[in-house]
Structure 1
Amino acid sequence: MELRDMLAKSNPVERLIDHLAATLEGALALRRRVGDIAVVEQVTQGQFWTAVSLAALCHDAGKIPDGFQAMLRGTTQSWGERHEVVSLGFLPCLIEDERLLTWVATGVATHHRSLEGGRGPVIKLYGGAPDAEWRDRLRPLPDSVAVELIGWLARTAKRAGLPAASLSPEELDVVGEARRMFDLLLDRWELPAHPDEGLAAVLLQGAVTLADHVSSAHGTLHTRQPIGIRFRALLEKAFTEKGQSLRPHQAEAAETGGHLLLRAPTGSGKTEAGLLWAATQAAEITRRTGGVPRVFFTLPYLASINAMAARLGGLLEDDTLVGVMHSRAASYHLARAICPEDGEDEHAEAAKKAVSRAAATRLFRETVRVGTPYQILRGVLAGPAHSGTLIDAANSVFVLDELHAYDPRRLGYILASARLWERLGGRLTVLSATLPGVLARLFRDLLDQDVRLIEASAVGAPLRHRLGLRERHLTDPESVEEIRSRLAAGDSVLVVANNVADAQRLFAELEPEADAAFLLHSRFRRMDRSALEQAIAERFGVGRDRLPGLVVATQVVEVSLDVDFDCLLTSAAPLEALLQRFGRVNRIAARPPADVIVHAAAFAPRRKGGEEFADGVYPRTPVETGWHILTRHDGCAVDEADARLWLDEVYDTVWGQEWHDEVLRHQTEFTEAFLGFAHPFVSRDELAERFDELFDGTEAVLDRDRDAYEADLATGHKAAGRLLAERYLIPMPHWAAPLTTWEKRLGVRIIDAEYDERLGLGEVHGRVAQVYQAGEVL
């Protein structure tokens, strides 16, 4: 056999030299998009992208052994060895610079597996094995092809402007050289690395892995940032067409260089201000690095992410430039691609397209991404599976919208990651209607560069809300009667409970009283949740004709939908959460101050003898402190400038100091556990499990939907079938996994529970050690 006969892949069939050339092109494209990363260029003495490119070119050279080729051609089931280890044997003949050689070897050896720990660690497979065993396991291989391949690699590298030795060996001891390079790598990474060096190593791994994935998928990376130098003119044109112009805080944000904190009330155009700021940063980063920065727009809830993605796609006049970055991205694309009247064939075809679109986002194709902060945070898990997220975040722009302060652990983790993003050449802004001063100080103390604070002027701004307090609980009969009277008066009414159980109870009582009634919380099947959100937006969306009706919701409504109600009745919660809920009422101040009525919470421990929580959800102290502040303003119109001072008052307490200390403790904890990279190629599988428990939760299919789920799985294209089946999934918290049974054959959790399309998940049946308590599930 000759070099041209060597395969890299079997399904579809792809020649080895074609795949290596495509992966090199992927690495060069990634370099053009990311640009120079100052911290790693210093560590590698300007050789980072050269090492990435050479590693991409050589990463699969070790696929020429007879055993690997036989496996690809189907004449043997499995080779059982690691091709990337064999690939190391081609490097010494190609690269003369010893420092560069080590970095290239690092990228080649780690593009599939960790050196130590995890699934099939490379050290365990080959470390300490004698030379004779190496040769027995990795040979035979066609020596003439190896010589031919080294010549092809050298010529290809030179054409790409990469350094390559002009050697034409008559023979090449690939396995012997591979063994030597492998031992060199083990010595190199045995001791703890300097933080910058460890970071460079992980980014190198991510770049090689990402280039390989893009090549294998025959994909491309977008090289245009639509939120850039021309964005301001595009936005001003859109404003002019509506008879509007930029507001002072928006213009100020557009002219700000560096990190930004923006405090602006709901309805003041803070999203546009954040995008204008992002455009300025993107243009500056391009000038500094030569790359094409990515813009990450993060939000806390799924519905708000989907709505923002659609909004940005319309604003940019091309939604293919916008990636949806959350665990249900394919479901989002499917929902946008199909109509309710479509048949199953149309659904299946739309599912195939949605899967392709979501896969492209996972390959980091788009330069604008909308998602949760936690999807970007996953990059710190490193390894072949996650290091691509880190390299993609380098030299990027991060817009953190509605970052909630009251969860100290998640905030601490985000703060730690923000410091890493800055270290990687990034710029950050935090947008909030309720940004407390303590959060602003945390960011200013954390980041090395200056952080500017812009506050939208509230002078002359119309008052949107009138505050009312009720000493009784939201579910009290008198409270329910008050809601009934609002519905009878023809109002559009928003009721927000702190937990699912209260929301379901209120909805059951009030639905008969309303012209149209909807219940929204996080425990619906995906397809039912999507339908609910669409129906709510169509009836109560901003700018639509005012219609009477009722929405009962939990916290998911706080920043999820662009809706506008006549009045709000809500359970007491932390002030930040309450102010977000207020923002769903009289949203654009088109009417006199509208009523926002806060009901006292019920405090009780979640478990016997534990700390007390408001309605089983929020810690008692901040809720109680906020309630006492609100009592001073009962019956008054709410000035949003004053509301920010209320927040500062909450945090300027003993509890606030404890909260501050806890945030810093979690920041330090996350930094030490995830961001040191002292051992960059040791598996972080155990950290991934902790991460998933904190952020991801789990999902389950109702026992009654099992057959329908299985039927969808069998629909045509495998990934499309799984996407269609996902419409039956119900999100649940990670701790609720014991309430389910794992169906290995279908690869999904099954839950035996009551369920109603209008009410969502109800009572769970079966013998389980833990009881589902809806009050604890947000």
Structure 2
Amino acid sequence: MIKLADIYAKSIHYGGTSLLNHTKDVVNAIELFAEQLDYPFDIELAKKGAVLHDIGKAHPHFRSRISEYNHDSLLKKRHFESITHRHEISSLAFLSAFPEEEWDALIDMVVGHHKSVQNDSKRKGILDISTDERDWASNHLLDWDEWWECGKELLESFGYNCPEISKENATESLQYVRKYCQQKKTGWSPWRGLLKAADHFASAFNEKTSEQLDSLFEKPNLSFYYGSDRRSELYPLSLIDTSDARLHTIVIAPTGAGKTDFLMKRCKGRIFYTLPFQASINAMYQRFKKVVPNKDIRLLHATSEIVVKREGGKNYVDEQILQPLAGSSIKVLTPHQIASIVFGIRGFETAMLDIKGCDVILDEIHTYSDFSQAMVLEVIKALKYLECRIHIGTATMPTLLYKKLIEILGSSENVYEVKLSDAELEKFNRHKVYKHSADYDISELINLAIENKEKLLIIYNTVKGAQQAFKKIEENYPSVPKMLIHSRFKRGLRVNLENNLKEFYNGTKDNVGFKPCIVVSTQVVEVSLDISFDRMITQCAPLDALIQRFGRVNRYRSEKNIGKLKSVHVIEPKGNVLPYKLDILQKSFSALPENGAVLEECSLQEGIDLVYDVFDMKEIDIHLKFIDNQIVLKELTDCKKSVLIEALEIEGATCILEADREKYLLSNWEQRIEFEIPVNWKTLRGYVKEYEQLEVGSRPFVVPQKEEMHEKYGLELVEHENIW
């Protein structure tokens, strides 16, 4: 007879956790989640679902799969390999241990906590299996008499009485589950989201689950932002009252006016702080960690997991949003990581529960365009439905977009709108603009900056362009301190680079006034990096993005430097201008002053409206699963693939260096993050045949770049050396 003590929930490669201990962790997690999440869950019923959810791991098929299980015969081994077994379906054979009025909620929690019940990508949902395999029920009850008492023991160890369950009773339960799932309509199941949240949390922390729960739902302590030293005429937003009773907020003000403080002071509960780029969230996370004393402030790195598979001689791509664990006082993330709600991607129910009723800050919303802008607007609709308080901050915004946001949020009666006066804006004039032709040799400007002992920031629109330019600067200016920063560095290395940028090249701490230096970058510096340079050379970008870039020059405000101007140089767009559109860049270039004229802050709105004179938003309706305040997807199912790969320019794939392969395989999920390099899928897909893809973590592609080259230049997609 199989004993409960011998049953494992995870293989040795994933922690070797016993079924009993894992179940205890999930029960502890679900009790807190059911109490704290903004939904009227029955806590005792939730705990029953947690106890039930993994009992099917006592089934011999599961035990065989995660252990060195020896079959009695070759025939039995072949039979095992021929059947499809899902442990969550076997778990529901124990339904009759609970009152019938609880069955539906228990099924919602258990049957789909790993797979869609239907149209699963591997056809392993209960409706897929029961359609494909005539003996699906008996397969899930294989050797029932040998293992059902393990389930009975587990239930009774948590205080639930379990009378004898015959195989016939168990079969009837599974048939009920199948019929129940067949009758499901469109919508979403909060019970499924709850169990997923608890199971994922317990799986991530194993034996440390209980200690991690202590601070999980703390409201952030924002006392720092209310300190008297945070009020100053230099930061006009700090003098404006934030206690307006309206739910939502839109703030338009220049970089350095105090938007972050203002938006944080508008929050009442847990906070989701979103920024447009993965590259920009690191700096904001570090800022919060320094001033907000709560233990659980979380940075969400991964956007999605892309898996390349090969069938019938062809590659095909499957993708899922990597769901963040529920809870935390403050989460710093990109809106793409909330997008599972509107696209119905796996785990969307957990994301809905987690964010429901919270404060959501959408910082620098103007940076989105095309599909991304359409996605963000749909996300805002979903957040409003989920009773979130929505706070939008931006340096600039097209009037057409502004009107659309007011329409979605429910008129000015619901939105606290804050803008600075022209007189206040005039104090933020700090740049004089020079425009140069596309073939202009920037070495003249570099030489000028070095001669003047200036900190020089050079920005390119692509990683490749920045890498090529940096290599030339290395050759031509060997003695000048210099660095390269962009999105394609290992995450751990990126943190070091950003700290180096702020503390050394930015001239702070022990290096105050250290000049000259050269920093070459991409648009990763546009948002949230607290740096101030003396001169900028930049390729042309959309006007709103340029304004953000200019905000990294002459950024720090004091009584002495108000009215002082520093130079920004913009190179005319020409030819291939990816990732942007040529017509937008041409309009933006034309809207800028020239010959060293002052960039007037009070005139920026006029320029933005000239550039964005049409509300050009791509249609994404075909992909949406949240429409008109409801989920138009069959309950307990997910979408297999989202619009994110095909349409949105996001860092959707992950790479690691070949030198880190073994360390990555042996590391836990937190340690693996340090080795990962985010890459846009469109950039990577031409190399999928060239690189190995690992089956663990975020399924990274292994790139054979040498470590020392990566530390200097970041990821360069190189081919394997042929060995003859």
Cα distance in 2 for partners of 1:13, 1:529 equals 33
513, 524, 532: which is aligned to 2:497? 532
Q: CA deviation at 1:48?
A: 6.9
| TM norm structure 1 | 0.75
TM-superposition CA deviations, 1:522-574 (whole Å, max 9, x none): 34455654443332211343866233222222212211521101222322221
Partner of 2:581: 619
276, 279, 285: which is aligned to 1:309? 285
Cα distance in 2 for partners of 1:124, 1:730 equals 34
TM-superposition CA deviations, 1:654-680 (whole Å, max 9, x none): xx24x1xx24x2367535699734223
Partner of 1:114: 116
Partner of 1:88: 92
Q: Does 1:519 align with 2:484?
A: yes
| TM norm structure 2 | 0.80
Partner of 1:685: 640
Secondary structure of the corresponding residue to residue 554 of structure 2: coil
Indicate how the Cα distance of structure 1 residues 185 and 244 shifts in structure 2: closer, same or farther if over 3 A, else same. same
TM-superposition CA deviations, 1:380-428 (whole Å, max 9, x none): 5656655433322222221111123452211111111221122122121
Cα distance in 2 for partners of 1:35, 1:737 equals 40
620, 629, 634: which is aligned to 1:666? 620
Q: CA deviation at 1:761?
A: 5.5
Secondary structure of the corresponding residue to residue 193 of structure 2: helix
Q: Does 1:639 align with 2:641?
A: no
State how many pairs are aligned: 667
Richer in helix (by share): 1
177, 181, 184: which is aligned to 1:182? 177
Partner of 2:54: 60
Cα distance in 2 for partners of 1:412, 1:214 equals 31
Structural mapping, 1:656-735, within 5 Å: 656-657=614-615, 659=616, 662-663=617-618, 665-666=619-620, 669-671=623-625, 676-687=631-642, 690=645, 694-700=649-655, 706=658, 708-710=659-661, 712-713=663-664, 717=667, 722=672, 726=675, 729=677, 731-735=679-683
TM-superposition CA deviations, 1:710-758 (whole Å, max 9, x none): 45447x656687556x26x473543432135122579753557795754
Structural mapping, 1:442-591, within 5 Å: 442-448=404-410, 450-457=414-421, 459-460=423-424, 462-473=427-438, 476-477=440-441, 479-510=442-473, 512-513=476-477, 515-524=480-489, 526=491, 529-541=494-506, 545-548=512-515, 549-590=517-558, 591=561
Cα distance in 2 for partners of 1:415, 1:689 equals 15
Secondary structure of the corresponding residue to residue 609 of structure 2: helix
Specify every segment of 5 or more residues in structure 1 that has no aligned partner in the other structure, as ranges.
37-45, 157-165, 283-293, 330-359, 607-614, 769-778
Secondary structure of the corresponding residue to residue 307 of structure 1: helix
Partner of 2:266: 277
Indicate how the Cα distance of structure 1 residues 304 and 26 shifts in structure 2: closer, same or farther if over 3 A, else same. same
Indicate how the Cα distance of structure 1 residues 15 and 429 shifts in structure 2: closer, same or farther if over 3 A, else same. same
Q: Is the 8 A contact 2:235 2:257 kept in 1?
A: no
Cα distance in 2 for partners of 1:578, 1:676 equals 38
Secondary structure of the corresponding residue to residue 206 of structure 1: helix
Q: Does 1:23 align with 2:26?
A: yes
Q: CA deviation at 1:599?
A: 2.9
Q: Is the 8 A contact 2:4 2:150 kept in 1?
A: no
Indicate how the Cα distance of structure 1 residues 246 and 636 shifts in structure 2: closer, same or farther if over 3 A, else same. closer
TM-superposition CA deviations, 1:431-465 (whole Å, max 9, x none): 11113322222222223472321124453452442
Cα distance in 2 for partners of 1:763, 1:127 equals 44
Cα distance in 2 for partners of 1:207, 1:630 equals 51
Q: Does 1:33 align with 2:22?
A: no
TM-superposition CA deviations, 1:156-201 (whole Å, max 9, x none): 5xxxxxxxxx996786844223233223223322xx42xxxx12x2
Q: CA deviation at 1:305?
A: 1.3
Secondary structure of the corresponding residue to residue 309 of structure 1: helix
**Higher alpha-carbon deviation: 665-674 or 453-462:** 665-674
Cα distance in 1 for partners of 2:137, 2:467 equals 66
**Higher alpha-carbon deviation: 532-541 or 304-313:** 532-541
Indicate how the Cα distance of structure 1 residues 265 and 245 shifts in structure 2: closer, same or farther if over 3 A, else same. closer
Cα distance in 2 for partners of 1:620, 1:143 equals 66
Paired residue type of 1:221: L
Cα distance in 1 for partners of 2:530, 2:249 equals 24
Indicate how the Cα distance of structure 1 residues 470 and 48 shifts in structure 2: closer, same or farther if over 3 A, else same. same
Paired residue type of 2:607: W
Q: CA deviation at 1:113?
A: 1.7
Q: Is the 8 A contact 2:550 2:568 kept in 1?
A: no
Indicate how the Cα distance of structure 1 residues 55 and 23 shifts in structure 2: closer, same or farther if over 3 A, else same. same
Cα distance in 2 for partners of 1:396, 1:440 equals 23
Indicate how the Cα distance of structure 1 residues 597 and 74 shifts in structure 2: closer, same or farther if over 3 A, else same. closer
Paired residue type of 1:107: M
Q: Is the 8 A contact 2:623 2:643 kept in 1?
A: no
Partner of 2:200: 213
Cα distance in 1 for partners of 2:255, 2:373 equals 22
Q: CA deviation at 1:312?
A: 0.6
TM-superposition CA deviations, 1:571-600 (whole Å, max 9, x none): 222110110011011112342432343434
Q: CA deviation at 1:507?
A: 3.8
Cα distance in 1 for partners of 2:148, 2:541 equals 73
Cα distance in 2 for partners of 1:9, 1:224 equals 24
Secondary structure of the corresponding residue to residue 210 of structure 1: helix
Cα distance in 1 for partners of 2:195, 2:179 equals 20
Secondary structure of the corresponding residue to residue 437 of structure 2: coil
Q: Is the 8 A contact 1:89 1:175 kept in 2?
A: yes
TM-superposition CA deviations, 1:676-697 (whole Å, max 9, x none): 3422334422337737974234
Pairwise CA RMSD of aligned residues? Answer: 4.1
Cα distance in 1 for partners of 2:218, 2:43 equals 25
TM-superposition CA deviations, 1:479-510 (whole Å, max 9, x none): 43133213211222222233345444544555
Specify every segment of 5 or more residues in structure 2 that has no aligned partner in the other structure, as ranges.
72-76, 305-321
Structural mapping, 1:130-529, within 5 Å: 134=138, 137-141=141-145, 145=149, 148=152, 152=156, 155-156=159-160, 173-189=168-184, 192-193=185-186, 198-199=187-188, 201=189, 203-216=190-203, 217-218=206-207, 219=209, 220-223=212-215, 228=220, 231=222, 233-237=223-227, 239-240=228-229, 247-248=236-237, 251-278=240-267, 280=268, 282=269, 294-318=270-294, 320-327=295-302, 362-379=324-341, 382=344, 387-448=349-410, 450-457=414-421, 459-460=423-424, 462-473=427-438, 476-477=440-441, 479-510=442-473, 512-513=476-477, 515-524=480-489, 526=491, 529=494
Secondary structure of the corresponding residue to residue 138 of structure 1: coil
Indicate how the Cα distance of structure 1 residues 439 and 81 shifts in structure 2: closer, same or farther if over 3 A, else same. same
Indicate how the Cα distance of structure 1 residues 321 and 93 shifts in structure 2: closer, same or farther if over 3 A, else same. closer
Q: Is the 8 A contact 2:532 2:554 kept in 1?
A: yes
Paired residue type of 1:95: P
